[in-house]
């Protein structure tokens, strides 16, 4: 079985992430979306909330791919891959500015465990999008519909009390 992982913090998932996940689901038998837990980051949503938001976003997508599963991990991504029998990591690249760090991580993951990283170009519609920017705009009452799945929009509104 050809399995890939789409890893990230997903705090919260954006339409840019979702686009990559759905496109990856057409290329692999199974895509595991891995919410990686980074204790040094201050997060808006808990890990369980992030997992639920991703599951609902995938379920509500027009393609609703059935071969996407969602999980979380505390440790190294390559250990997660080893335990799950995952051969490939799929990452979206928005711009050249993403590339340096992504290349470093790809090379480190390959040298640690021989896991390959495949870069997918982000849909230009979402090239400027990041979870951090979405949170900032939403915090100050800006409009983020169209940038995040509806379930996330509701989560952000609940958080801001509007
Ligand atoms: O959404 P993010 O925060 O940009 O995702 C970064 C992430 C979670 C994919 C990366 O930090 C990661 O893989 N973390 C897991 C720990 C790990 O394996 N670190 C070594 C990377 S070479």
Q: For the chain, which residues score pLDDT lower than 50?
A: none
Q: Determine whether the shortest distance from the Cβ of 109 to ligand 1 is under 6 A.
A: yes
Domains in the chain, CATH or no CATH each: 3-160 (3.40.50.620)
The residues annotated with a catalytic role in the active site are 17, 41, 94, 131
| Start-end of H helices in the chain | 15-25, 47-60, 77-84, 96-113, 131-139, 150-160
pLDDT of the residue at 132: 96
Query: The pTM is what?
Result: 0.96
What's the gap in Å between 151 CA and the centre of ligand 1? 24
Q: How far apart are CA 30 and CA 156, in angstroms?
A: 29
Residue 68 has a CB neighbour count (10 Å cut-off) of 24
Contact 127, 147 (CB under 8 A): no
Q: Tell how far the Cα of 162 is from the centroid of ligand 1, in angstroms.
A: 32
Quick: pLDDT tens for 37-79: 988 888 999 999 999 999 999 999 999 999 999 999 999 999 9
pLDDT of residue 66: 98
Distance 79 CA to ligand 1 centre (A): 12
Pocket test for ligand 1, best of 77, 79, 135 (most atoms within 8 A of CB): 77
């Amino acid at each position: 079985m050809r399995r890939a992982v789409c890893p990230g913090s997903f705090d919260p998932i954006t339409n840019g992430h979702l686009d990559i996940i759905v496109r990856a689901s057409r290329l692999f038998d199974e895509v595991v979306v891995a919410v990686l837990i980074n204790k040094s980051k201050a997060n808006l949503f808990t890990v369980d909330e992030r997992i639920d938001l991703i599951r609902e976003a995938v379920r509500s997508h027009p393609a609703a791919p059935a071969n996407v599963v969602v999980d979380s991990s505390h440790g190294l991504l390559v250990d997660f891959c080893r335990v799950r029998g995952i051969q490939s990591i799929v990452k979206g690249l928005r711009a050249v500015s993403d590339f340096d760090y992504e290349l470093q991580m790809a090379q480190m993951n390959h040298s640690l465990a021989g896991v390959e990283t495949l870069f997918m170009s982000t849909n230009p519609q979402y090239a400027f999008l990041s979870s951090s920017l979405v949170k900032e705009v939403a915090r100050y009452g800006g409009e983020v519909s169209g940038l995040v799945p509806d379930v996330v929009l509701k989560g952000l509104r609940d958080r801001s009390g509007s």
